[in-house]
């Protein structure tokens, strides 16, 4: 066992070296002569004079066992500046300038030197080395606390029930780019959002059914659809795209880096959105006739339709303000790991609108009995429908406040925008604005052409072929995208943003691949289901709107397969947004909008009026197919040339191979049933049921033979949930 540390370790023997100009063996005045070289020692004879009491006490040369047992905390070295530098061995010690004086009760301590004068072994630095006793190391070895995860609060509601300290799992080593529990937590969050989206979409379909039952699917409904579409278009153009795509990464960074967890940044963003949308809403309400003329010159040419459309627009345009408030509050909750509110609150909006149009049917009768149009509708009826639409969005926005209170966020108006990162977000949002502008230009072109073609086709005896039929089919077609893809990517996007911020391209690639393959399990079969069963779907859902329901089914079939590239495009663009790259999505959207507008224009001039909108629906999917090819190559280059393409393509190819025979069998079964029972409610329901069963059975058999791992994992998860 070593003696206690006496302050003289690792100091050397000291003494000046012999002068280089003196011959060996010549004595130097004032210095002890060096001993003569000792003969080679005999290993069997002990040298009694080998012990040197003044040799260096190097800790690294001592017994390692004794060194481990030596407790430095009990015998720490002296502080810097108190150890005397080595000098000649036999020189008289110098009198310390601060020696103890028995006549002074409190002696003045010596000053600290500029640098450390203590020598420690192993190259340790005197001012930074911390001495910890062996007893403390052994006793408190299990008391180490792991560093808190800076992003733990983002996923708090995704975790299981809280565990007691005894149940806490041990701290794991730094995990690879894809932790083992990531897929499970994402599936839980996706399931919560999917449930909310399913309920929202179901009530949304009930909403469209009630609207169609109240005002039909013809030109009168076209006036309401254009007025109700205007606020959404303007809102998305002004800032909706930026809020959805740019500000989630910014909110995540603010929560990670700011002392208040990003609360001040979120309040500044909320204030900016409120002020901006309040001003824009006021201007748009005053300019409602201009917007109606821009959206549909055909409606503007009819004075009665123009008056009704402008009245609807002035009630509907203020909803853009509440859209913005709802979205920014929802993104604040998403950044804090609360994903459910944004998916569930639209249910309230749908309920209010359903009640509004139900009241219209109660007061004025259904469309099949009243035949209401722009010439026969009363001002009271227009006011009822307009106020009900505005009230629905108002309730949807205000319903977010309890969720914010539960998340610990207190909304406050803050006008100190300068110098707090909003400028950077605005610069990023610049390209998102152009992105949305290109998309909306294509939508305006389609709206003008579809409205014109629908008016001509209705005069020829084919109602339900205008913009209303296009929007209703589009709403039904987008349902799988909203339930599956959006839910999965909303949960994945904060994780992708964190991986991109950390420079972990492999994690970004894995999450993109996960989103593509997981969503494909539902997206690909749904696309073929729309192709095979589009007509019975539409005739069943919109049976109360008259003969126009079958034309909606044809449009839905044309949309069908375009769902696959539409979903892929959505997932791939999230990768660019995670890297705060909004320029590339803009260029990609320009390509999509250009292809969509060009093919839609060609369909308008080449096809008959009844089939023109069907061609426009096919053009929508074609535009996204072209855009996916461009976006895929660019993102693959961004991630170092690897986007897990072979794995993703293998999954989509196998799913498509399983869906082709399934869709053929389902389409044949549905056609036979409708020929036997007709296309009424009974025939459509039977055709849809039997065709759906046939499609699911053939698809599952083929997919099992092809061993599609993503489908097998999903089926296993469902069986585990059901306890089978």
In angstroms, the CA 356 to CA 346 distance is: 15
Residue 649 lies in a domain: no
- State the number of CA atoms in the 13 A half-sphere of 102 facing the CB: 0
Nearest Cα to Cα of residue 451 among 602, 236, 300: 300
Residue 573 lies in a domain: no
| Domain tally, the chain | 1
Which residues neighbour 81 within 8 Å (Cβ) at sequence distance 6 or greater? 110, 111, 112, 113, 116, 117
What pLDDT is recorded for position 432?
63
What pLDDT is recorded for position 16?
46
In angstroms, the CA 446 to CA 615 distance is: 11
Lowest mean pLDDT among 144-148, 167-171, 220-224, 315-319: 167-171
Say what the pTM is: 0.63
Lowest mean pLDDT among 160-164, 183-187, 433-437, 441-445: 160-164
Mean pLDDT of 32-58: 54
In angstroms, the CA 490 to CA 494 distance is: 8
Residue 329 lies in a domain: yes
Q: Are 98 and 82 in contact (CB under 8 A)?
A: no
Mean pLDDT of 432-457: 82
Buried b (16+ CB within 10 A) or exposed e, 455-480: bbbbeeebbbbbbbbbbbbebbbbbb
Q: Which residue has tokens 């003494």?
A: 15
Residue 448 lies in a domain: no
Residue 291 lies in a domain: yes
Tens of pLDDT along 100-127? 555 655 555 555 555 444 444 444 554 5
Residue 77 lies in a domain: no
pLDDT band at 50 (very low <50, low <70, confident <90, very high): low
Tens of pLDDT along 273-329? 888 888 989 999 999 999 999 888 888 888 888 999 999 999 999 999 998 888 888
In angstroms, the CA 560 to CA 547 distance is: 22
Count helices and strands (H / E) in the chain.
28, 0
In angstroms, the CA 711 to CA 717 distance is: 10
Instruction: Output the average pLDDT for the chain.
Output: 74
Residue 263 lies in a domain: yes
Question: For a pLDDT cut of 90, what percent of the chain falls above it?
Answer: 22
Residue 455 lies in a domain: no
Tens of pLDDT along 63-99? 444 444 445 455 555 555 554 555 565 555 565 555 5
Query: What is the extent of the structural domain holding 328?
Result: 189-420
Tokens of residue 676, six digits: 């036997």
What pLDDT is recorded for position 20?
45
| Per-residue 3-state assignment (H helix, E strand, C coil) for 293-345 | HHHCHHHHCCHHHHHHHHHHHHHHCCHHHHHHHHHHHHHHHHHCCCCHHHHHC
Nearest Cα to Cα of residue 13 among 51, 48, 49, 53: 53
Which residues neighbour 257 within 8 Å (Cβ) at sequence distance 6 or greater? none
In angstroms, the CA 665 to CA 659 distance is: 10
């Amino acid at each position: 066992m070593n003696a206690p540390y006496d302050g003289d370790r690792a100091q050397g023997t000291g003494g000046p070296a012999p002068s280089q100009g003196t011959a060996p063996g010549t004595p130097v005045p004032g210095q002890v002569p060096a001993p003569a070289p000792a003969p080679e020692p005999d290993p069997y004879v002990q040298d009694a004079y080998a012990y040197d009491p003044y040799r260096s006490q190097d800790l690294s040369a001592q017994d390692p066992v004794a060194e481990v047992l030596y407790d430095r905390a009990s015998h720490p070295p002296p502080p810097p500046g108190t150890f005397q530098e080595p000098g000649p061995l036999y020189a008289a010690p110098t009198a310390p300038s601060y020696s103890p004086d028995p006549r002074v009760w409190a002696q003045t301590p010596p000053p600290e030197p500029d640098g450390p004068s203590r020598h420690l072994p192993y190259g340790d630095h005197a001012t930074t080395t911390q001495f910890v006793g062996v007893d403390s190391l052994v006793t408190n070895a299990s008391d180490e606390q792991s560093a808190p995860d800076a992003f733990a609060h983002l996923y708090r509601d995704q975790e299981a029930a809280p565990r007691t300290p005894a149940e806490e799992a041990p701290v794991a080593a730094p995990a690879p780019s894809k932790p083992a529990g990531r897929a499970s937590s994402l599936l839980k969050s996706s399931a919560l959002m999917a449930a909310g989206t399913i309920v929202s979409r179901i009530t949304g379909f009930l909403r469209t059914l009630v609207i169609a039952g109240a005002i039909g699917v013809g030109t009168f409904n076209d006036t309401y659809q254009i007025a109700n579409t205007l606020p959404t278009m303007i809102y998305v153009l002004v800032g909706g795209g930026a809020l959805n795509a740019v500000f989630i990464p910014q909110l995540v960074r603010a929560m990670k880096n700011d002392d208040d967890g990003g609360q001040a940044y979120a309040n500044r963003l909320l204030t900016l959105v409120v002020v901006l949308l309040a001003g824009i809403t006021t201007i748009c309400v005053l300019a409602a006739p201009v917007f109606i003329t821009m959206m549909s010159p055909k409606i503007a040419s009819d004075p009665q339709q123009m008056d009704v459309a402008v009245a609807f627009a002035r009630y509907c345009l203020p909803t853009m303000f509440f859209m913005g408030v709802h979205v920014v509050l929802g993104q604040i909750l998403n950044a804090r790991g609360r994903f459910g509110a944004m998916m569930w609150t639209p249910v309230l909006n749908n309920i209010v609108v359903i009640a509004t149009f139900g009241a219209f049917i109660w007061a004025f009768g259904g469309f099949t009995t009243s035949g209401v149009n722009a010439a026969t509708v009363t001002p009271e009826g227009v006011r009822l429908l307009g106020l009900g639409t505005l009230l629905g969005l108002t309730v949807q926005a205000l319903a977010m406040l309890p969720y914010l209170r539960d998340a610990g966020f207190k909304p406050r108006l803050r006008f100190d925008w300068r110098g707090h990162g909003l400028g950077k977000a605005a610069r990023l949002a610049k390209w998102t604005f152009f992105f949305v502008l290109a998309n909306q230009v294509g939508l305006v072109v389609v709206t003008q052409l579809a409205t014109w073609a629908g008016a001509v086709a209705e005069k020829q005896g084919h109602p339900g072929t205008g913009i209303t039929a296009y929007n209703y089919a589009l709403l039904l077609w987008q349902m799988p995208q909203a339930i599956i893809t959006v839910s999965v990517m909303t949960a994945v996007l904060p994780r992708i943003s964190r991986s991109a911020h950390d420079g972990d391209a492999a994690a970004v690639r894995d999450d993109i691949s996960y989103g593509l393959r997981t969503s494909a399990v539902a997206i690909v079969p749904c696309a073929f289901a729309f192709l095979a069963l589009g007509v019975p779907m539409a005739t069943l859902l919109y049976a109360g709107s008259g003969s126009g329901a079958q034309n909606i089914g044809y449009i839905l079939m044309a949309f069908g397969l375009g769902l696959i590239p539409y979903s892929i495009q959505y997932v791939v663009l999230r990768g660019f947004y995670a890297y705060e790259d909004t320029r590339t999505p803009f260029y990609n959207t320009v390509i999509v909008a250009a292809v969509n507008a060009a093919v839609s224009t060609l369909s308008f001039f080449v096809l008959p009026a009844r089939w023109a909108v069907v061609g426009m629906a096919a053009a929508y999917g074609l535009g996204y197919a072209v855009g996916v090819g461009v976006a895929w190559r660019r993102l693959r280059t961004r991630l170092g040339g690897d986007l897990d393409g072979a794995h993703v393509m293998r999954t989509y190819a196998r799913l498509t191979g399983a869906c082709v025979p399934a869709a053929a069998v389902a389409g044949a079964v549905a056609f036979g049933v409708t020929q036997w029972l007709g296309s009424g409610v009974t025939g459509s329901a039977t055709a849809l049921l039997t065709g759906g069963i046939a499609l699911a059975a053939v698809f599952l058999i083929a997919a099992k033979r092809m061993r599609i791992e993503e489908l097998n994992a999903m089926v296993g998860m469902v069986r585990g949930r059901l306890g089978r």
